[in-house]
């Protein structure tokens, strides 16, 4: 049996036909360090004598195109022909800076860094050519993997210059000269994505596609209630399943769960299906958990009750209490349930532990966290853990949490063999890090014209911080900064509060995070106020957004996190909000008379440093909601790859539709009631068959995020459209919980 | 579909006897004793054909779609023995010799995001376009109803299919 394991892994990957993709995932990185006559002045780029240009993708690919788009920035500045570029997927390593691919920040955090990489190598190539030709390097250009001297019509391929360039000193960052935007080949225009061909031919390598000699597949029985531990189990029937090899217990997590393995009983088998069947035959009894009594319906009432009482002040200006006395008051409460991530590829990871080292292959958004989590789980130093990142079959925040990676490492160590841990869809839905269930109470006092002069809101939800610390009662500053304490409305008296809530399941971030509940409440309520005032919502919103200005949130006591972006570079700008609002409205043909049962709804929201408005036209027939048209306008600053910006907006509309129309799971006696796509549905083709028109506002402002910010405006735009079509206001999600047949 | 039901019945009769099942996968004849094993896992674990993907294990999502005699089916629901004598095409086999027009269209319309579901999407479209070369929008919705894309590439899937179908007729 051990003969197999002696096979050199590199040879094995070549042998098994995983070769092409297997090489991409980490193997070339080794090769990069071996070749001598090459130009490698920067961590992210190296040029080989055969003309190949290696560019490192250090962020994870889960559908945004980032694995192609960041390297494209390097290629553009370098002057590389895209066809000459070979992408090297980085392993988890602190030397790259953060690799945590979430928070919609890959582009804005690393755009300058990628330009630097391209310019550094490029300038050395230009200098080498210029020296050879006896001309000034500033008179040379770079494109198509060549240095070009236009005045003398000379050109030379990069690969001919490698030896000379490599002999030059690496230029200092402050001495680099960057291309002008008119000379850009890819930035602002886009280019081919490297994985498309493999994807349509079934050759792309995702997490479960890793095959190692002697590997076992594992499926784990975890406590149905959070915090439950296995008391005893009977594996007799499980062991009788052909292919099942062994049973291993995983110790329960210690202290706060964070990214630790949940613990449980694992069935290890020679094949995936045997492991699944074995696990299904396993009889496990669980000890009591402090969360046995968790009931999401009762919890909902408690959250709404708390929200009505107010809480810790997170932003304040003027005097709400005094102002409200003389104004006409409106109030409403909104509710969003726990939301599961449901990526098409459930969590999966492969580990090979031996001799104090652990090799990991995983579809992870955060290979560095996977590295530290595995190291802690195994009691070995992080540098003894190598994490290779496969493609992710969707992430949405779930795969930032490497609990499943830790499981594979623990089982590989215990079993003494490589182990692939598979999560079934049921495992995925029942043991998710759920988007926080939330209640938001909003009240406002309006003047004689119907416009708000005083606004108070209280948000209550179990915080993501509860995943990392004991007894967390309030939201973090980061969560408060997600569409809550950055309310951009021009209202003199404002009070933003956060009430207490304790978590009873694992809480985690899901695409656009706390913006989901905040945008839903705020942009629904402002529409309610417009309707109550008898004013067109677009007119109303333009006026409430107020004069063009940059918000000074600090002055109003807000501990504003701004998604980690410097506020001076990325201030909250109401002019940009209004620009996307009016662009989406125009694109939608806002203001046209609508037939009975049809309505327009709109919402505008800034998140992840980008500004997005969505207008929807909705038809409600016999209680059934159909979106007929979606118009999206986005200002994300510089759109590096416009087609991928557009595709993220399209995807966000569909993702937002899923969560608004049919999203959410419920818990009874501490257990998740739903289990698979039949009772935890997501949008299918017929639910999302409307045209989606996306307008990207031209901008040279620094780039913002794109992956998440399209989601928050969808739910309020949809509920506003339903209200316009039917007169019925929906204040809790999902919409399918409401009977619209009488509306 | 009826033929598959018949096959399922004979599988039940043969399964206890551990008779070798013979089937043709992407043009290659394969024999196995794993008669009860769902085709999905036979492809992935026994043949290392990993382009066919697990998404739900209950025939709800379409990630595991393959063609059986040209017809799209959910391989997670079909035991190997039910496929005796049938021609199975996976996403790896579809364009092995010549890229299928839908595989081309998928790239031209830049359909994929994460890509996990797309093999199943393409095979469903291949199957249904064969039966209905010029679907209406409603027919297109119905024919693709079994394939989930969590990234939400539906608008581009529609465009890619329509570009090959060439509009209603």
Q: What is the ipTM of this complex?
A: 0.95
For A240-261, the DSSP string reads TSTTEEEEEEEPPP-SS-TTS-
Helix or strand or coil: residue A624? strand
Interatomic CA distance for residues B155 and A664, integer angstroms: 24
* pLDDT band of B19, cuts 50, 70, 90: confident
Judge contact between A498 and A460, C-beta under 8 A: yes
The per-residue pLDDT for range A115-171, each reduced to its tens digit, is 999 999 999 999 999 999 999 999 999 999 999 999 999 999 999 999 999 999 999
The per-residue pLDDT for range A285-317, each reduced to its tens digit, is 999 999 999 999 999 999 999 999 999 999 999
Which residues does chain A have within 8 Å of residue B55's beta carbon, measured at their own beta carbons? 344-346, 425
Q: What is the mean pLDDT of residues A78-89?
A: 98
Q: What is the mean pLDDT of residues A702-730?
A: 98
The per-residue pLDDT for range A644-679, each reduced to its tens digit, is 999 999 999 999 999 999 999 999 999 999 999 999
Is the model's pLDDT at A20 over the cut of 70? Answer: no
Helix or strand or coil: residue B118? helix
Q: How many CA atoms lie within 13 A of A341 on its CB side?
A: 28
Judge contact between B83 and B75, C-beta under 8 A: no
Query: What is the share, in percent, of chain A residues with pLDDT greater than 90?
Result: 95
* Nearest-by-Cβ selection for A655 from B45, B107, B152: B152
Judge contact between A510 and A482, C-beta under 8 A: no
- Identify the pLDDT of residue A23: 30
* pLDDT band of B5, cuts 50, 70, 90: low
- Identify the pLDDT of residue A737: 97
Which residues does chain A have within 8 Å of residue B156's beta carbon, measured at their own beta carbons? 647, 650
- How far is B161 from chain A, CA to nearest CA, in Å? 13
Is the model's pLDDT at B131 over the cut of 70? Answer: yes
Judge contact between B83 and B111, C-beta under 8 A: no
CA-nearest of A489, A589, A527, A522 to A721 is A527
Interatomic CA distance for residues A665 and A681, integer angstroms: 10
Residues 6+ apart with CB under 8 A from B15: B35, B36, B79, B81
Least trusted range by pLDDT, from A30-44, A67-81, A162-176, B52-66: A30-44
- Identify the pLDDT of residue B2: 52
Q: What is the mean pLDDT of residues A27-51?
A: 75
Interatomic CA distance for residues A742 and A348, integer angstroms: 45
- Identify the pLDDT of residue A10: 38
Pairing of strands A385-389, B87-89: unpaired
For A445-508, the DSSP string reads EE-TTS-EEEEEEEEE---GGGGTSTT--S--HHHHTTTTTT-----SEEEEEE-----SS-B-
Is the model's pLDDT at A15 over the cut of 80? Answer: no
Which residues does chain B have within 8 Å of residue A206's beta carbon, measured at their own beta carbons? 50, 53, 116
- How far is B27 from chain A, CA to nearest CA, in Å? 16
* pLDDT band of B87, cuts 50, 70, 90: very high
Judge contact between B161 and B125, C-beta under 8 A: yes
- Identify the pLDDT of residue A13: 38
Pairing of strands A419-422, A216-221: parallel
- How far is A509 from chain B, CA to nearest CA, in Å? 17
Q: Dig out the tokens for A610 from the structure.
A: 């980008």
- Identify the pLDDT of residue A37: 86
Sign, CA torsion B50/B56/B58/B61: negative
Q: What is the mean pLDDT of residues A272-276?
A: 98
Residues 6+ apart with CB under 8 A from A153: none
Contact assignment for B54 to A272 by CB distance below 8 Å:
yes
The per-residue pLDDT for range A515-547, each reduced to its tens digit, is 999 999 999 999 999 999 999 999 999 999 999
* Nearest-by-Cβ selection for B63 from A209, A271, A344: A344
Contact assignment for B53 to A393 by CB distance below 8 Å:
yes
> For testing the chain A interface, which of B35, B53, B155, B157 should be mutated: the one with the most A CBs within 10 Å?
B155
- Identify the pLDDT of residue B3: 58
* Nearest-by-Cβ selection for A344 from B48, B110, B116: B116
Is the model's pLDDT at A30 over the cut of 80? Answer: no
pTM above 0.90, yes or no: yes
Q: Dig out the tokens for B10 from the structure.
A: 């004979």
The per-residue pLDDT for range A575-617, each reduced to its tens digit, is 999 999 999 999 999 999 999 999 999 999 999 999 999 999 9
- Identify the pLDDT of residue A83: 97
* pLDDT band of A22, cuts 50, 70, 90: very low
- Identify the pLDDT of residue A631: 98
Q: What is the mean pLDDT of residues B70-93?
A: 97
Q: What is the mean pLDDT of residues A410-425?
A: 98
Is the model's pLDDT at A271 over the cut of 50? Answer: yes
Q: What is the mean pLDDT of residues A231-242?
A: 97
Which residues does chain B have within 8 Å of residue A692's beta carbon, measured at their own beta carbons? 155
CA-nearest of A341, A440, A352 to A399 is A341
φ/ψ (deg, to 5) at A7: -60, 135
Interatomic CA distance for residues B12 and B79, integer angstroms: 10
- Identify the pLDDT of residue A34: 44
φ/ψ (deg, to 5) at A330: -120, 150
More confident residue, A326 or B13: A326
CA-nearest of A698, A702, A697 to A566 is A702
- Identify the pLDDT of residue A626: 97
Chain centre distance of CA A458: 26
- Identify the pLDDT of residue B7: 60
- How far is B95 from chain A, CA to nearest CA, in Å? 7
More confident residue, A17 or A482: A482
* pLDDT band of A742, cuts 50, 70, 90: confident
Q: What is the mean pLDDT of residues A615-628?
A: 97
Residues 6+ apart with CB under 8 A from A11: none
Q: What is the mean pLDDT of residues A253-277?
A: 98
* Nearest-by-Cβ selection for B115 from A204, A271, A643: A204
Interatomic CA distance for residues B105 and B160, integer angstroms: 5
Q: Dig out the tokens for A559 from the structure.
A: 């501990």
Judge contact between A222 and B58, C-beta under 8 A: no
Query: What is the share, in percent, of chain A residues with pLDDT greater than 70?
Result: 95
Pairing of strands B87-89, A154-157: unpaired
Is the model's pLDDT at A26 over the cut of 80? Answer: no
Sign, CA torsion B153/B159/B163/B164: positive
Q: What is the mean pLDDT of residues B111-121?
A: 98
């Amino acid at each position: 049996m051990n003969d197999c394991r002696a096979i050199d892994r590199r040879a094995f990957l070549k042998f098994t036909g995983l070769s092409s993709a297997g090489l991409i995932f980490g193997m070339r990185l080794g090769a990069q360090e071996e070749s001598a006559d090459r130009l490698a002045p920067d961590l992210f780029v190296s040029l080989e004598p055969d003309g190949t240009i290696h560019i490192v993708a250090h962020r994870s690919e889960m559908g945004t195109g980032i694995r192609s788009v960041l390297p494209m920035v390097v290629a553009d500045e370098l002057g590389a022909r895209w066809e000459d570029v070979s992408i090297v997927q980085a392993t988890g390593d602190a030397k790259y800076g953060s690799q945590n691919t979430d928070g919609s920040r890959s582009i804005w955090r690393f755009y300058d860094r990628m330009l630097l990489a391209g310019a550094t190598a490029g300038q050395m190539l230009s200098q080498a050519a210029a020296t050879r030709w006896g001309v000034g390097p500033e008179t040379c250009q770079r494109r198509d993997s060549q240095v070009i001297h236009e005045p003398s019509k000379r050109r030379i391929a990069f690969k001919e210059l490698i030896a000379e360039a490599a002999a030059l000193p690496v230029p200092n960052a402050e001495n680099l000269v960057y291309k002008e935007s008119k000379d850009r080949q890819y930035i602002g225009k886009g280019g081919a994505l490297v994985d498309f061909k493999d994807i349509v031919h079934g050759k792309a390598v995702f997490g479960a596609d890793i095959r190692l000699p002697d590997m076992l597949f594992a499926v784990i029985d975890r406590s149905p209630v959070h915090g439950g531990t296995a008391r005893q189990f009977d594996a007799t029937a499980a062991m009788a399943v052909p292919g099942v090899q062994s049973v291993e217990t995983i110790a329960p997590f210690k202290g706060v769960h964070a990214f630790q393995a949940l613990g449980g009983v694992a069935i290890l088998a020679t094949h995936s299906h045997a492991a699944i069947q074995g696990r299904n035959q396993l009889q496990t009894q669980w000890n009591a958990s402090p969360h046995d009594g968790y009931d999401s319906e009762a919890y909902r009432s408690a959250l709404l009750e708390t929200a009505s009482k107010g809480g810790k002040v997170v932003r304040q200006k003027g005097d709400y209490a005094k102002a409200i006395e003389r104004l006409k008051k409106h109030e409403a409460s909104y509710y969003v349930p726990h939301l599961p991530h449901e990526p098409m590829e459930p969590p999966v990871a492969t580990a090979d532990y031996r001799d104090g080292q652990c090799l990991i292959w995983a579809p992870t958004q955060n290979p560095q966290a996977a590295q530290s989590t595995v190291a802690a789980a195994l009691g070995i130093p992080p540098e003894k853990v190598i994490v290779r990142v496969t493609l992710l079959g969707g992430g949405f925040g779930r795969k930032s949490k490497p609990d499943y990676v830790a499981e594979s490492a623990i089982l590989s160590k215990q079993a003494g063999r490589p182990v692939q841990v598979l999560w079934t869809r049921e495992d995925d839905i029942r043991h998710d890090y759920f988007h926080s269930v939330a209640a938001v109470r909003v009240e406002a006092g309006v003047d004689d014209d119907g416009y708000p002069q005083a606004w108070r809101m209280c948000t209550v939800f179990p915080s993501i911080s509860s995943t990392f610390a004991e007894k967390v009662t309030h939201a973090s500053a980061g969560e408060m900064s997600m569409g809550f304490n950055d309310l951009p409305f021009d209202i003199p008296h404002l009070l933003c509060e956060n009430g207490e809530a304790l978590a009873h399941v694992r809480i985690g971030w899901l695409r656009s995070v706390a913006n989901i509940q905040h945008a839903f409440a705020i942009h629904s309520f402002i529409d309610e106020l417009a309707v109550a005032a008898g004013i067109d919502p677009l007119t109303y919103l333009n006026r409430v957004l107020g004069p063009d200005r940059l918000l000074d949130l600090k002055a109003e006591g807000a501990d504003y996190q701004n998604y980690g972006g410097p506020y001076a570079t990325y201030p909250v700008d109401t002019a940009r909000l209004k620009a996307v609002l009016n662009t989406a409205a125009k694109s939608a043909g806002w203001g046209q008379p609508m037939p009975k049962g049809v309505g327009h709804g709109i919402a505008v929201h800034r998140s992840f440093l980008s500004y997005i408005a969505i207008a929807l036209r909705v038809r409600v027939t016999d209680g059934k909601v159909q979106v007929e048209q979606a118009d999206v306008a986005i200002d994300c600053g510089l759109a590096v790859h416009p087609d991928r910006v557009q595709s993220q907006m399209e995807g966000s509309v569909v993702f937002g539709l899923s969560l608004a129309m049919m999203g959410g799971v419920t818990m009874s006696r501490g257990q998740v009631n739903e289990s698979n796509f039949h009772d935890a549905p997501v949008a299918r083709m017929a639910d999302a068959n409307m045209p989606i028109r996306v307008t990207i506002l031209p901008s040279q402002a620094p780039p913002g995020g794109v992956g998440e910010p399209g989601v928050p405006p969808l739910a309020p735009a949809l509920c506003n459209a339903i209200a316009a079509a039917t007169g019925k206001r929906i204040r809790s999600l999902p919409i399918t919980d409401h009977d619209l047949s009488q509306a | 579909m009826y033929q598959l039901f018949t096959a399922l019945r004979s599988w039940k009769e043969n399964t206890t006897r551990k008779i070798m099942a013979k089937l043709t996968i992407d043009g290659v004849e394969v024999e196995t004793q794993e008669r009860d094993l769902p085709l999905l896992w036979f492809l992935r674990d026994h043949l290392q054909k990993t382009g066919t993907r697990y998404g739900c294990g209950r025939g709800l999502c379409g990630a595991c779609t393959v063609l059986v005699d040209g017809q799209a089916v959910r391989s997670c629901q079909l035991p190997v023995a039910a496929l005796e004598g049938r021609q199975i095409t996976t996403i790896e086999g579809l364009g092995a010799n010549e890229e299928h027009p839908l595989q081309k269209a998928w790239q031209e319309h830049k359909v994929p995001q994460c890509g996990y579901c797309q093999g199943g999407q393409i095979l469903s479209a291949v199957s249904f376009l064969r039966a209905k070369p010029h679907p209406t929008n409603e027919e297109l919705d119905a024919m693709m109803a079994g394939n989930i894309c969590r990234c939400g590439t539906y608008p581009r899937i529609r465009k890619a299919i329509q570009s090959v179908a060439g509009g209603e007729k």
